[in-house]
């Protein structure tokens, strides 16, 4: 139809020019739909006219190569500073837009192995715009064709030689060829959505609604990393990158894919550690008459050894415990699991005597893991009588929060578990008033504040004192208020440090 015919010749790609590089200046004007280059990144000079003298031609090409290398260096330096998948995808989208001369785009993270995580990031596109683009059938959209057209990731053992067939190694039979890496598809350029053949009508409708006329899609895949996803940049006018721009975005895309692959492995490792840590802790808190419980557990990127427990005991009693094992990572998680399981056993046998429970735990830790130390606090509570008997080993004292008082429980000083050949410290007894909440916490809550110990204790006391009266009847609200006050920015998962455990018990 005449209405679908292109108007004039599509504009060739060229990014806006910065001042001359090595005496070379561009004579090609920038099309109106391109964006300015990234701040601080020099723009590459195009090849000079073939009619120039040989010396000038060589100088022009050298200047262009230097400019291209400088551009890639600046962009990859920015990318390598990102430490999260979302941050890397956003940086990659912005840098890619500068390289191909587009204003908008989207990146889809969809690993071929199906293990996730998956996400969609937009550049210059609202969340609703991304949803509109996703209504286009995948077989018609360029990024969908890239995602669906790449073979699935090889199974475990990929890259290793396949098993030799019968007769291999005998005279006349050569060795088995190694498995070939996954094929990386070529980028897909749609120069004009209105006239491109084979597009679904929904694709043209979405392009008209969002106001883009062309697209360039790049696979986020390499032979080594396999398929991680795809990126697509959108143009306001019919256009496509020239050969030089395709080469630059191809180099940058391969580097970005390898960086994303590393971040993906880190993200998956963190998720596995967090899953293991959660499985080693109680799946839910028990319901015991006379007391209401709430817990908040925040973990760092490597997973620490902070733990908590709430164990129903005989005759309506309740055992409450918090503790921390030295170290981080899988070994600390394993030690935490063993320590918590042992404490539960000792609590069932002699929970009425917290000192005996911790003494048994000290002996076990000293005999089984002499190189590791731990802190622990165990409380034997009788909610019906509002009576608590507790003892601690190198652990911070509990905090009682009520309408008429906010004060720390005076516990005896003791070294952590595993630090002394013979450990024993007397227990203390307290009687919470009706409506008071007892807070048990790990040292990570204090250390994450970044303050000295005495100032951290003062801030914790002030945070507990400032709990609104309307929230004091809910132990979860009390814990949330304390955490928001002490850690207003939350627990940054990218920052190394201790875990945070806050266990609140409100007595009726």
Last residue of a domain, one of 255, 272, 289: 272
β-sheet bridge partners, residue 387: 382
| Residue 502: its H or E element | strand 500-507
Q: What percent of the chain has pLDDT over 70?
A: 79
**What pTM did the predictor assign?**
0.65
- Say what the pLDDT of residue 182 is: 59
The answer to whether residue 158 sits within a structural domain is no
- pLDDT confidence bin for 278, thresholds 50/70/90: confident
Last residue of a domain, one of 272, 303, 338: 272
Q: Are the C-beta atoms of 475 and 504 separated by less than 8 Å?
A: yes
- Total count of domains within the chain: 2
> Are residues 258 and 309 both part of a single domain?
no
Q: Which domain holds residue 392?
A: 281-507
Q: Which of 55-59, 212-216, 379-383 has the lowest mean pLDDT?
A: 55-59
- Say what the pLDDT of residue 21 is: 36
The answer to whether residue 233 sits within a structural domain is yes
pLDDT tens digits along 360-381 = 888 888 888 888 888 999 999 9
> Are residues 351 and 219 both part of a single domain?
no
> Are residues 239 and 305 both part of a single domain?
no
The answer to whether residue 266 sits within a structural domain is yes
Q: Are the C-beta atoms of 25 and 59 separated by less than 8 Å?
A: no
- pLDDT confidence bin for 202, thresholds 50/70/90: very high
Measured distance CA(182)–CA(283) in Å, rounded: 41
The pLDDT of 278-290, averaged and rounded, is 88
Q: Which of 222-236, 268-282, 371-385 has the lowest mean pLDDT?
A: 268-282
Q: Which CATH number do you get for residue 368? A: 3.60.40.10
> Are residues 493 and 365 both part of a single domain?
yes
> Are residues 111 and 230 both part of a single domain?
yes
The answer to whether residue 168 sits within a structural domain is no
> Are residues 227 and 335 both part of a single domain?
no
The answer to whether residue 167 sits within a structural domain is no
The pLDDT of 385-409, averaged and rounded, is 93
> Are residues 251 and 362 both part of a single domain?
no
> Are residues 394 and 489 both part of a single domain?
yes
> Are residues 241 and 113 both part of a single domain?
yes
b/e for 444-471, b at 16 or more Cβ within 10 A? bbbebbeeeeeebbebbeebbeebeeee
Residue partners of 197: CB distance under 8 A and separation at least 6: none
> Are residues 335 and 305 both part of a single domain?
yes
The pLDDT of 122-144, averaged and rounded, is 90
> Are residues 268 and 294 both part of a single domain?
no
Q: Which CATH number do you get for residue 260? A: 3.30.450.40
Last residue of a domain, one of 240, 272, 304: 272
């Amino acid at each position: 139809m005449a209405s679908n015919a292109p108007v004039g010749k599509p504009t060739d790609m060229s990014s806006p020019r910065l001042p001359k590089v090595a005496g070379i200046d561009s004579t090609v004007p920038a099309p109106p739909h391109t964006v300015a280059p990234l701040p601080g990144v020099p723009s590459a000079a195009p090849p000079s006219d073939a009619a120039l003298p040989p010396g000038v031609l060589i100088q022009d090409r050298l200047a262009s190569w230097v400019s291209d290398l400088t551009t890639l260096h600046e962009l990859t330096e920015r990318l390598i500073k990102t430490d999260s998948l979302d941050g890397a995808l956003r940086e990659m989208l912005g840098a890619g837009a500068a390289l191909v001369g587009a204003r908008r785009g989207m990146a889809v993270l969809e690993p071929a192995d199906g293990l996730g995580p998956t996400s969609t990031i937009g550049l210059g596109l609202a969340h609703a715009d991304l949803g509109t683009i996703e209504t286009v059938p995948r077989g018609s959209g360029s990024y969908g064709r890239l995602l669906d057209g790449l073979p699935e990731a090889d199974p475990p053992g990929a890259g290793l030689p396949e098993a030799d067939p019968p007769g291999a190694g005998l005279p006349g039979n050569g060795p088995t060829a190694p498995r070939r890496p996954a094929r990386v598809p070529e980028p897909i350029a749609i120069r004009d959505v209105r006239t491109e053949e084979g597009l679904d009508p929904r694709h043209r409708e979405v392009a008209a609604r969002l106001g883009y006329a062309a697209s360039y899609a790049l696979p986020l895949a390499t032979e080594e990393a396999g398929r991680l996803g795809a990126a697509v940049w959108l143009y306001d006018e019919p256009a496509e990158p020239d050969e030089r721009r395709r080469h630059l975005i191809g180099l940058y895309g391969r580097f970005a894919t390898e960086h994303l692959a590393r971040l993906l492995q880190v993200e998956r490792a963190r998720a596995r550690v967090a899953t293991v840590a959660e499985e080693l802790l109680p799946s839910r808190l028990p319901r015991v008459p006379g007391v209401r419980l709430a817990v908040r557990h925040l973990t760092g990127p490597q997973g620490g050894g902070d733990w908590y427990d709430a164990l129903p005991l005989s005759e309506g009693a309740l055992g409450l415990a918090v503790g921390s094992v030295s170290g981080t990572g899988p070994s600390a998680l394993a030690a935490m699991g063993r320590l918590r399981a042992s404490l539960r056993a000792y609590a069932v046998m002699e929970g009425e005597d917290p000192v005996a429970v911790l003494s048994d735990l000290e002996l076990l830790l000293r005999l089984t893991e002499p190189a590791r130390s731990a802190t622990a606090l165990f409380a034997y509570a009788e909610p019906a009588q509002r009576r608590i008997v507790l003892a601690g080993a190198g652990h911070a004292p509990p905090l009682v929060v009520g309408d008429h008082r906010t004060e720390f429980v005076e516990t005896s000083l003791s070294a952590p578990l595993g630090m002394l050949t013979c450990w024993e410290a007397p227990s203390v007894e307290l009687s919470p008033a009706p409506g008071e909440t007892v807070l048990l916490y790990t040292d990570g809550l204090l250390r994450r504040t970044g303050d000295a110990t005495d100032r951290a204790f003062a801030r914790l006391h002030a945070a507990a004192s400032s709990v609104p009266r309307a929230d004091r009847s809910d132990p979860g609200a009390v814990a949330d208020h304390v955490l928001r006050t002490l850690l207003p920015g939350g627990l940054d998962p990218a920052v190394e440090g201790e875990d945070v455990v806050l266990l609140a018990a409100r007595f009726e």
